[in-house]
Amino acid sequence: GIDPNFDSNREKVGEEELEELRSSASQTEFGEGVDVWGPVEPPEKLGIHGTHVAVDYDLCVADGACLENCPVDVFTWVETPDHPESERKVEPTREDQCIDCMLCVDICPVDAIDVDGS
């Protein structure tokens, strides 16, 4: 599953790598203002997206239960063509709205989500 200490074990990626990420995604844009924690090497390695609500893009298999069940609609789909696990991922676009219910953390079949360092 996702490393709950990602914010100390990984580096936040800069604007240049963010641009590279954005151009690797089609149709939908990555959330503005959502931090990404590297390493990032599109299209195979896409990093961890978000800080309070963090999604490991390299683990996510696009199950969708998080997005369908979040009571405050934190997540939006992003297309990720050619990623080995799945061709779309959930971006924690409205992570500032999270009410820490932990539903997404508990429901994800591959343990790809961490909320508030839990």
Q: How far is the CB of 21 from ligand SF4 (least distance, A)?
A: 21
Question: What is the β-pairing status of strands 113-115 and 53-56?
Answer: antiparallel
C-beta closer to ligand SF4: residue 17 or 115: 115
Contact status: 98 vs ligand SF4 (CB under 6 A): yes
For position 101 contacting ligand SF4 by CB under 6 A, the verdict is yes
For residues 11 and 29, give the distance between their C-alpha atoms in angstroms, rounded to a whole number. 22
Q: Which of 54, 70, 90, 108 binds ligand SF4 (CB under 6 A)?
A: 70
Angle, CA 41 vertex, CA 115 and CA 48 arms, to 5°:
0
Q: Which is nearer to ligand F3S, 11 or 106 (CB)?
A: 106
Specify whether the CB–CB gap between 74 and 93 falls below 8 A. Answer: yes
Partners of residue 90 on adjacent β-strands: 77
Shortest separation between residue 100's beta carbon and ligand SF4, angstroms: 5
Q: 83, 47 in Cβ contact below 8 A?
A: no
Task: Name 49's bridge partners.
Answer: 36, 55
**Residues contributing to the site for ligand F3S (CB under 6 A):** 55, 60-66, 90, 107-108, 110, 112-113
Q: Which residues bind ligand SF4 (CB under 6 A)?
A: 53, 70-72, 74, 98-104, 115
